[in-house]
């Protein structure tokens, strides 16, 4: 592989835009084409990034022969094109969630494994500066033995949802993945959900967690809130020797030792707007992913983590339906 890699993007929507931006800003990437479903929007998007527009995925792949394909489609419509890309043998990056269906997700993983493909998923929230600082503290053992976690993430949603568990599967899978990355494997879940939001979906839920290391946690996710609220997202991890707080993912990190009156704080400087940007998480993730890809290494966030998040989500759904604690 040469110094530059060719990337094609499937999807001309809002998050497809962010992928196009992130890849196009790199000196080691050629953004070779964007495939979309509507001619006007796809041509406009391709023009923005000085690349070619395609309405047919197979035509784009046959013409451009990319090194890597990035798939940014609505989650309920991702399975068929993702499977097609895998069967054609292209290394790929997919947006979360991996699928809404467990069997479909397992099929994607199995088909990629048969071909020994580079298969990455975009769980970029753990690449924020506060989250990486938190993981380093935990790695060094500064929290002592982890005792509890608390996750809260609340934002809005316009209109009805297309699936009864959209919030859990699509919006909150970041939290499931991030907590397992920081604390360890989740072994037991117990969940309560409500459809009081009037969206034909269980748009708010709370889950009790138990981790393999003995820690416990609470997990509150809602789409019946407002992302303009202060502390829309809060991550708290407490141990015998200290506590970590992460506020709104990119805004503020703090670590406080047990029985100490002062805390260590990180927050972006006045002239560091990019460090307060959620999109900056994506840039950091793409940097790590491209580096691994060029070196012939496995993805830093493999698609199997998307399957794992979906398995936990469905354990939570089973718990809600049965009223029982479910093993994962």
Of residues 212 and 14, which shows the higher confidence score?
A: 212
Determine the pLDDT at residue 195: 95
Which phi and psi (to 5°) does residue 307 adopt? -65, -45
* Domain 125-281+310-327 CATH assignment equals 3.30.360.10: yes
Per mean pLDDT, which range of 33-37, 165-169, 176-180, 197-201 is the poorest? 197-201
DSSP code of 7? E
Instruction: Encode burial over 170-200: b for 16+ CB neighbours within 10 A, e otherwise.
Output: bbbbbbbbbbbbbbeebebbbbebeeebebe
Q: Going by DSSP bridges, is the β-strand pair 242-247/233-239 parallel, antiparallel, or unpaired?
A: antiparallel
Res. 2 pLDDT band, cuts 50 70 90:
low
- Per-residue pLDDT at 229: 87
What CATH number is given for 5-124 in this structure? 3.40.50.720
Domain assignments of the chain as residue spans, ordered by start: 5-124, 125-281+310-327
**How many CA atoms are closer than 13 Å to the CA of 56, on its beta-carbon side?**
4
- 276 close to 270: Cβ distance less than 8 angstroms: no
Could you give the CA distance from residue 49 to residue 303 in angstroms, rounded to a whole number?
A: 27
Q: What is the structure's pLDDT at 298?
A: 97
Give the 3-state secondary structure of 224-246: CCCCCCCCCEEEEEEECCEEEEE
What pLDDT shows up at residue 316?
Answer: 98
- In this prediction, residues 23-28 reach a mean pLDDT of 96
Question: Mind listing the pLDDT tens digit for each residue in 40-95?
Answer: 999 999 999 999 999 999 999 999 999 999 999 998 999 999 999 999 999 999 99
pLDDT 10s digits, 222-255 = 999 988 888 999 999 999 999 999 999 999 999 9
Same fold, 5-124 and 125-281+310-327: no
Least confident of 25-34, 82-91, 266-275: 266-275
Pinpoint the alpha helices (H) of 88-126. 102-114
Predicted confidence at residue 276, as pLDDT, reads: 87
């Amino acid at each position: 592989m040469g110094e530059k890699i060719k990337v094609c993007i499937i999807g001309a929507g809002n998050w497809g835009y962010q992928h196009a931006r992130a890849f196009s800003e790199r000196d080691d990437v050629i953004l070779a084409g964007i495939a979309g479903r509507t001619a006007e929007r796809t041509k406009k998007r391709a023009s923005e990034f000085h690349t070619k527009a395609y309405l047919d995925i197979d035509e784009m792949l046959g013409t451009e022969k990319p090194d890597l394909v990035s798939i940014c489609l609505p989650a309920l419509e991702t399975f068929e094109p993702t499977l097609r890309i895998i069967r054609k043998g292209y290394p790929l990056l997919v947006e979360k969630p991996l699928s809404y269906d467990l069997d479909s997700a397992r099929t994607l993983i199995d088909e990629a494994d048969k071909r020994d493909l580079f298969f990455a998923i975009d769980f970029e929230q753990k690449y924020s500066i506060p989250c990486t600082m938190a993981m380093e503290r935990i790695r060094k053992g500064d929290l002592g033995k982890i005792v509890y976690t608390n996750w809260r993430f609340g934002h809005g949603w316009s209109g009805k949802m297309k699936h009864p568990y959209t919030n859990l599967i699509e919006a909150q899978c970041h939290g499931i993945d991030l907590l397992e990355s920081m604390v360890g494997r989740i072994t037991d879940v117990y969940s309560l959900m409500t459809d009081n939001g009037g969206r034909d979906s269980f748009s708010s839920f709370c889950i009790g967690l138990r981790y393999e290391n003995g820690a416990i946690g609470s997990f509150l996710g809602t789409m019946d809130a407002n992302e303009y609220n202060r502390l829309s997202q809060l991550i708290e991890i407490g141990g015998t020797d200290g506590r970590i707080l992460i506020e709104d993912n990119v805004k503020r990190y703090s670590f406080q030792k047990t029985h100490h009156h002062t805390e260590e704080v990180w927050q972006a400087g006045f002239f560091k707007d990019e460090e307060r940007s959620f999109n900056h998480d994506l840039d950091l993730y793409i940097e790590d992913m491209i580096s691994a890809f060029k070196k012939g290494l496995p993805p830093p966030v493999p698609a199997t983590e998307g399957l794992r998040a979906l398995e936990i989500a469905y354990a939570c759904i089973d718990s809600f339906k049965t009223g029982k604690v479910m093993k994962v």
